[in-house]
């Protein structure tokens, strides 16, 4: 919506017509941030579950978690970046302050999530790497009654 209107909002007649709709726009941004918070909470819960974190297909847990958090960051950055470009929105209104405080809070959550994932990985990587480097790179596997050669990569 913000992209579509672009510089049209600088025109007095369009600005006057759109002004009552700013509250709706702020509410939409607030709902988007609430949705992102729900997704974040679901990811935290899944990290503690036996199935592991929610990641894209064929992604290892650590890099998948970091990529997921980056996608979440990009999602809210896009929305809030466009909102910040609007010069006609009052940053002093309680609703706007609430949205920007939610935004700052989510950015802090995402940053701490990324730091936690990386710190956990960095503390374990030496033992994981040593263990996996001692394994053979190729292994034989029986598939459909035939012996086939398979690459022995660890899913981590």
Q: 39 near 72, Cβ under 8 Å?
A: yes
Q: Which domain holds residue 25?
A: 2-151
Residue 84 located in a structural domain: yes
In terms of DSSP H, where are the helices of 6-138?
Answer: 12-18, 22-48, 61-85, 94-133
Residue 109 located in a structural domain: yes
Residue 66: both structure tokens together: 């970091």
Q: How far is residue 103's CA from residue 77's CA, in Å, rounded to a whole number?
A: 9
pLDDT tens sequence across 80-114: 887 777 666 667 778 888 999 999 999 999 999 99
Residue 106 located in a structural domain: yes
pLDDT at 118: 94
Q: Give just the sign of the alpha carbon dihedral 16, 18, 21, 22.
A: negative
Residue 139 located in a structural domain: yes
pTM value is 0.76
Whether the per-residue pLDDT at 23 is higher than 60: the answer is yes
What is the number of domains present in the chain? 1
Residue 156 located in a structural domain: no
């Amino acid at each position: 919506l913000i992209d579509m209107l672009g510089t049209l909002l600088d025109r007095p007649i369009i600005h006057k017509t759109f002004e009552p709709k700013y509250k709706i726009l702020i509410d939409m941004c607030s709902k988007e941030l609430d949705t992102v918070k729900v997704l974040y909470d679901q990811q935290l819960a899944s990290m503690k579950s036996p199935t592991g974190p929610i990641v894209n297909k064929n992604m290892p847990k650590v890099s998948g978690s970091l990529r997921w958090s980056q996608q979440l960051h990009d999602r809210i950055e896009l929305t809030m970046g466009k909102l910040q470009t609007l010069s006609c929105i009052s940053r002093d209104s309680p609703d706007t302050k609430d949205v920007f405080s939610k935004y700052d809070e989510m950015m802090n959550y995402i940053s701490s999530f990324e730091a936690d994932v990386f710190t956990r990985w960095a503390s374990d990587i030496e033992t994981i790497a040593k263990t996996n480097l001692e394994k053979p790179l190729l292994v034989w596997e029986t598939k459909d009654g035939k012996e086939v050669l398979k690459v022995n990569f660890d899913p981590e």
